[in-house]
């Protein structure tokens, strides 16, 4: 019978690296967050009277720009990147709200659409920058 203390270092490392049920929940949590955020945006856009509309829409309004900004800040440490991304998401939401109030066009649907467009634009810029970086490296090698 083999006890936990009698396992070799190599077998312990192999056991830690092995993935399986319950080992790595990151993709599952990312999928759940995407589903909750997407549902929040849809509930806000269709004007549903569901009690989940408020919390899910708030989650979407914070998560969408935060994910886009975090993708742009790949070089930072994880904690610093998280803080900067959440702060940037709050700034994006405040700027959208301030801009819509300034032109007297405030609406929940308009705010969700504007935040979605800004987040998609940031992600598009990140994608273009990464693709351009790959092509220039290939040419110089």
Distance from CA of residue 65 to its chain's centroid? 7
Per-residue model confidence (pLDDT) at position 68: 94
Report residue 39 as tokens: 């549902």
Q: Decide which of 60 and 21 is more confident.
A: 60
Does residue 2 carry a pLDDT above 70?
no
Q: Which of the residue ranges 5-14, 57-66, 124-133 has the most confident prediction, judged by mean pLDDT?
A: 57-66
Residue 129 CB burial class (10 angstroms; 0-12, 13-18, ≥19): exposed
The mean pLDDT value of the chain amounts to 84
The DSSP result for 71-126, as a single string, is HHTTTS-HHHHHHHHHHHHHHHHHHHHHHHHHTT---HHHHHHHHHHHHHHHHHHH
């Amino acid at each position: 019978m083999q006890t936990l203390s009698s396992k070799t270092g190599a077998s312990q490392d192999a056991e830690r690296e092995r993935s399986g049920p319950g080992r790595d929940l990151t993709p599952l949590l990312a999928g759940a967050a995407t589903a909750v955020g997407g549902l929040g945006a849809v509930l806000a856009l269709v004007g549903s009277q569901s009690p989940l509309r408020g919390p899910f829409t708030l989650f979407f309004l914070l998560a969408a720009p935060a994910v886009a900004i975090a993708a742009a800040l790949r070089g930072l440490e994880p904690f610093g990147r998280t803080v900067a991304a959440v702060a940037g998401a709050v700034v994006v939401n405040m700027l959208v709200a301030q801009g819509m109030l300034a032109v007297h066009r405030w609406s929940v649907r308009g705010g969700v659409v504007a935040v979605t467009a800004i987040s998609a634009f940031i992600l598009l810029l990140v994608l273009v920058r990464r693709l351009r970086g790959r092509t220039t490296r290939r040419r110089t090698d």
